[in-house]
Amino acid sequence: MLTGEKFFGSNAGAEVAVVAARPRGAEAGVRGLALFVLPRYRSDGSLNYHVRRLKDKIGTRSVPTGEVELADSEAYLLEPPEWGIYLILEVLNISRVANSIASAALAQRALAGALAFAEQRTAFGKPVLEHPLLRQQFVDRKVRVQMAFALAWEAVRLLDAVWLQRPRYSGQYHLFRLVAHLAKYWTAEVAVQMATWAMIVHGGAGVLADYPVERLLREAMILPIWEGTPHRQILDGIEVMERREAHHLLFRHLSPDADTRAVDAMAARVDAHLALGQEEKEARAETLRRPGSVCGLDRAPTPAAWERIDAGGPCCPFLRVGHGLGQFHRVHGDRHARRAQRLHDWLQVVAHPGSQQPTPQHRGQVPTLAEHLVHHLGDPASQVFGHDLGIPGHAQRTSVNVRG
């Protein structure tokens, strides 16, 4: 029987919940926590918990969040109590990976919505998409969305390899932990930035409820917060690097596709940071732990990276997961025209999943992330955030809470 309350409980009213609680007599601190399964109904058919009230939130309004009270609620212990903190962290890390996919999907939807608007909105005698500055912004942000998807799906791939492990975990599991923190932290930032930029592309229309972009921004605001704020991701990442040397595992993981000298320099930088005093190490952690500082995600593509992009290749090591948007079959003109055309073709697939999709025959060797998402997942943003976000051509879908 569990007794207590949770002030901020998402998916309130769920048929089953996973609950962290401290058994009577357990030690203080996180080591004394155990993990329980809590059904909605008792064995006699009565309600097993009470939702005191629902929260009035700026976003994720389709996901009920409330204050939950437990009063001698029936629950079932998962695994030995001493495994509690490990299982709790496993649940959190899985949710962080789901959050990363949701963030990348929202960024994709924001980019697609901005494109649909920019194609139709005219200024100074032509669609605003054809103005060089905005066109280049679309190109740069397409690359950023591509990077977000690659990083998020690398976390998925690593999770798939370790999810059955139990304490004591292997080095591969600690590598997954670090990448999960990186992915959750960085993709959530990308989602907020992309939604903000998409609103700017819409101009004054972006703040109107008539257009879906205002909801995208409201939805994006929660992504850096739940499943652990950026501060939590940074500090937990520092911990797994200090105790498990996960950064060295990460650098070895990236080494087949990364510049050796850059990796060695970054490894030395991380080791020097970990040798600092505790207060300085924590105070300066954000500059070190930005995911881009590890894999190049915090920088605009260099001229050499653009050459690789123009050739259909990756511009950062994580993009080996699915870099190949590749050379589309409609490539012509100067470099800017080629980039703009590739962006246009790709985003047409994003904004209109039912339209003609680039195929491996069009692009060369393309067992890619973009192809996998389009052909096997459809439009992940619609699946995560519901049917009413309104890009023309999108099938209507029922909302799905990926955190459930």
Q: Residue for token digits 């055309």?
A: 341
Average pLDDT on 36-65 reads 94
Which among 32, 56, 78 is the end of a domain? 78
Q: Which residue range forms the structural domain that includes residue 21?
A: 2-78
Instruction: Tell me, yes or no, whether 381 and 289 share the same domain.
Output: yes
Q: Residue 309 pLDDT more than 50?
A: no
Instruction: Tell me, yes or no, whether 258 and 283 share the same domain.
Output: yes
The rounded distance, in Å, linking the Cα atoms of 192 and 207 is: 15
pLDDT at 343: 53
In a domain, residue 334? The reply is yes
Instruction: Tell me, yes or no, whether 48 and 158 share the same domain.
Output: no
Report how many domains make up the chain.
Answer: 2
> Is residue 193 left, alpha or beta, with left meaning phi > 0 and alpha meaning psi from -120 to 50?
alpha
The rounded distance, in Å, linking the Cα atoms of 277 and 137 is: 41
In a domain, residue 402? The reply is no
pLDDT at 385: 32
Instruction: Tell me, yes or no, whether 233 and 364 share the same domain.
Output: yes
Instruction: Tell me, yes or no, whether 34 and 98 share the same domain.
Output: no
Instruction: Tell me, yes or no, whether 339 and 209 share the same domain.
Output: yes
- The DSSP bridge partners found for residue 359 are none
pLDDT at 49: 94
Instruction: Tell me, yes or no, whether 184 and 49 share the same domain.
Output: no
In a domain, residue 395? The reply is no
DSSP state of 222: T
In a domain, residue 149? The reply is yes
| Inter-residue contact 99 to 10 (CB < 8 Å) | no
Instruction: Tell me, yes or no, whether 140 and 185 share the same domain.
Output: yes
Q: Within its chain, how far is the Cα of 308 from the centroid?
A: 25
In a domain, residue 400? The reply is no
Which among 25, 52, 78 is the end of a domain? 78
pLDDT at 318: 47
Classify residue 155 as exposed, middle or buried by CB count within 10 Å of its CB (0-12, 13-18, 19+): buried
pLDDT tens-place string over residues 120-157: 999 999 999 999 999 999 999 999 999 999 999 999 99
Which among 27, 55, 78 is the end of a domain? 78
Which CATH number characterizes residue 30's domain? 2.40.110.20
In a domain, residue 396? The reply is no
pLDDT at 179: 95
Instruction: Tell me, yes or no, whether 41 and 138 share the same domain.
Output: no
Instruction: Tell me, yes or no, whether 109 and 91 share the same domain.
Output: yes
Output the pTM of the full model: 0.75
Instruction: Tell me, yes or no, whether 230 and 298 share the same domain.
Output: yes
Q: Residue 21 pLDDT more than 80?
A: yes
Instruction: Tell me, yes or no, whether 194 and 73 share the same domain.
Output: no
The rounded distance, in Å, linking the Cα atoms of 106 and 220 is: 7
**Token pair belonging to 124:** 């100074």
The rounded distance, in Å, linking the Cα atoms of 177 and 167 is: 14
State phi, psi for 282 to the nearest 5 degrees: -75, -40
Average pLDDT on 170-178 reads 96
The larger pLDDT score, comparing residue 239 to residue 353, is at 239
